[in-house]
Amino acid sequence: MIGGAIFARIAGVEEGETAPAWVQFAPLVLAMLYLGWRTMRRGRQRREAEQRAAEDEHLVEGRVEIEADPSDAPLMSEFEWRSRVDSAIRNLGADAFQRFTLEFLSAMGLSDVQVQRTSFDGAVECVATSHDSEGPDGVGVYVIFRRSFGSLGANQIRDLHERMDEEDYEGLYVTNGDFSASARNEAESSEGGARLIDGDELIDLMQRQGLGLILDELGRVAAVDEAWFRSLESSYLTREDD
């Protein structure tokens, strides 16, 4: 009503006269224009606010990605990485397996590791020095490292005993397979015993030393180091009997 009176005064309509139609509808038109303008303004403000929020969220995500704890990185399942390591060992060529033997024994802390012979089935026999004993010069160790798809028996341990007696060394037998009960009994029967490392302990020691594995800061396995195993294949290895 107030808006109509104002427009009537603007249009020069005297009191008691009938105002033109445009005067009567002008206030309604102006109100609609105002409401439309306000709606558009609020919509623009809402879109700008959403855009700013999206930009802020992107920045936050970027900071989280940069500052994320490496321990949160996805890890391989234990079954998967152990299976892949075992497969990688089995598939090494003869020279690569010999080099793997030297790398493993050195990682265990044995020094002066020297290859004595390799058998027809690819087993590697070495002599080395262990400094675990109290003697300043360490103790000689005769090592046999044999790949196996099953369990090794007492006969294989007797072979080690013969080498130990010949060289007057302690004995160490390593395999990625397993040892039968008779093999373990045979190892215990020798004077001083012979240490046996089966496939499970072999892979445990590789994880402890980070050998062939990529570990996170907590020592958990993030990946198998395929490049390391490939380097064993490509490395030139001079045999002592050449």
Q: What region does 202 belong to: left with phi over 0, alpha with psi -120 to 50, or beta? A: alpha
Determine the Cα–Cα distance for residues 7 and 9; give it in Å rounded to an integer. Answer: 5
Find the range with the poorest average confidence among 12-21, 207-216, 221-230: 12-21
Q: Is the pTM of this model over 0.85?
A: no
Pair type for strands 213-215 and 178-179: unpaired
Nearest Cα to 121, choosing from 144, 142, 87, 140? 144
Summarised one tens digit per residue, pLDDT across range 115-173 is: 999 988 889 999 999 987 656 678 899 999 999 888 999 999 999 998 888 878 899 99
Q: What is the pLDDT of residue 122?
A: 86
Class of domain 78-234: alpha beta
Q: Give mean pLDDT, residues 72-91.
A: 88
Domain spans of the chain, in order of start: 2-66, 78-234
Give the DSSP letter of residue 216: -
Tokens of 99: 């080099």
Summarised one tens digit per residue, pLDDT across range 6-39 is: 545 554 555 555 556 555 555 565 666 655 656 6
